[in-house]
Structure 1
Amino acid sequence: MDAEREVLDVLARNAREDIDDIAAQTGLDADAVAEAIATLEANHVVHGYQAVVDWDRVDEGKIRAVAEINVELDRETGYDQVADRIAKFPAVDALHLVSGDYDFAVEVLGETMQDVSRFISEQVAPMPEVTQTVTHYIMETYKDGGVRFEDGDDDDRLSVSP
């Protein structure tokens, strides 16, 4: 697993690295890297590869929100069953069982704030196990997927005039 872990560390930083570059960074040969990647994918450790998008820089960006969801479970229904139903919706970008004041943190993507609000109120809130939802709209993203979004202006100091 050590070779696989080294390959994972490189892929997590940049999934577009080619096998030869990963081999150079890890000290493994290219065949070992290819085998490690194939094993990680076959064992469902790596579920996919995707771009980290700064939606604020796209003309018709997406609205992102985080919804806190509280549930009340019965003897026949567990967190996994509720999570499975929520995860099936295309609007759900990420879903986490969390500790603290609520049970699930759901990251939702929509075209408008109304889309997100409608999704939560019409699809999630009516589920029998859901007892409460609180939606937080993301106003600005500074870092996502381990990637820091920068505006290109390195000098954040305020100008001073005499």
Structure 2
Amino acid sequence: MDQTAVEVLRIIEENGRVAVPTLAKMVDATEEEVQNILKTLEDEKVILGYSAVIDWSKVEKQEGVTAVIDVKVTPQRGVGFDEVAERIYRFPEVKALYLMSGAYDLSVVIEGKTMSETARFVSEKLSTVDTVISTTTHFQLKKYKHDGVVFDQGEEDHRIVVTP
């Protein structure tokens, strides 16, 4: 992969809405070259999608529950953690899944409408996977920063502090 493609990736990772003409100027390439780079990167599954970071707490009646579940599993001979990870990431509730070092093997991020819906997922789906040994569920209480974007920065108080 050449340096121009890497530059394109860095730019669109920061802002996926950059227009091709602007992107071409930023990397000193033609629009056609940038379009070809993007198409190649998409075809090769380097670019997997384009997304926006949404603060759902500001959208009435749309905020759900996000949980991070630490999962300890028994790896399978010959495939390690891959087979059990595939079984878990196929559940529609699962938004992210990571192989981790440390006390737990997998970190599963799920989203649901309510805490009880999330609890049902853990008890009825996740914990019933035959290689799952144990789970620990952590509920997200507030989002401060996600994908490099700071949430709810609020208005800075510009008043001068007066002391006696």
* TM-score between the two structures when normalised by the length of structure 1: 0.91
In structure 2, the partner of 1:14 is 15
Q: Partners of 1:100 and 1:156 in 2: how far apart? A: 45
Shift of 1:21: 1.2
Q: Decide which moves more: 95-104 or 48-57.
A: 48-57
Distance change >3 Å, CA 131–CA 160, structure 1 → 2:
farther
In structure 1, the partner of 2:96 is 94
Q: Partners of 2:104 and 2:158 in 1: how far apart? A: 37
In structure 1, the partner of 2:26 is 25
Distance change >3 Å, CA 161–CA 136, structure 1 → 2:
farther
Q: Partners of 2:76 and 2:13 in 1: how far apart? A: 38
In structure 1, the partner of 2:75 is 73
Amino acid at match of 1:139: L
- Pairing partner for 1:121 from 109, 120, 123: 123
Q: How many residues align?
A: 161
Question: What does residue range 137-156 of structure 1 map to in structure 2 within 5 Å?
Answer: 137-155=139-157
Amino acid at match of 2:89: A
Q: Is there any run of 5+ residues in structure 1 with no aligned partner, and where?
A: none
TM-superposition CA deviations, 1:44-80 (whole Å, max 9, x none): 0111111111122122212111000000124265211
Q: Partners of 2:104 and 2:40 in 1: how far apart? A: 36
Distance change >3 Å, CA 26–CA 115, structure 1 → 2:
same
TM-superposition CA deviations, 1:112-162 (whole Å, max 9, x none): 1111111111100111100010010001111112222133312399x7775
Q: Is there any run of 5+ residues in structure 2 with no aligned partner, and where?
A: none
Q: Decide which moves more: 117-126 or 76-85.
A: 76-85
In structure 2, the partner of 1:38 is 39
In structure 1, the partner of 2:137 is 135
- Moved runs in structure 1, 4+ residues, more than 4 A? 159-162
* TM-score between the two structures when normalised by the length of structure 2: 0.90
For residue 41 of structure 1, give the secondary structure of its aligned residue in structure 2: helix
* Identity rate, percent: 38
For residue 101 of structure 2, give the secondary structure of its aligned residue in structure 1: coil
Amino acid at match of 1:101: A
Tell me the C-alpha RMSD between the 2 structures.
Answer: 1.9
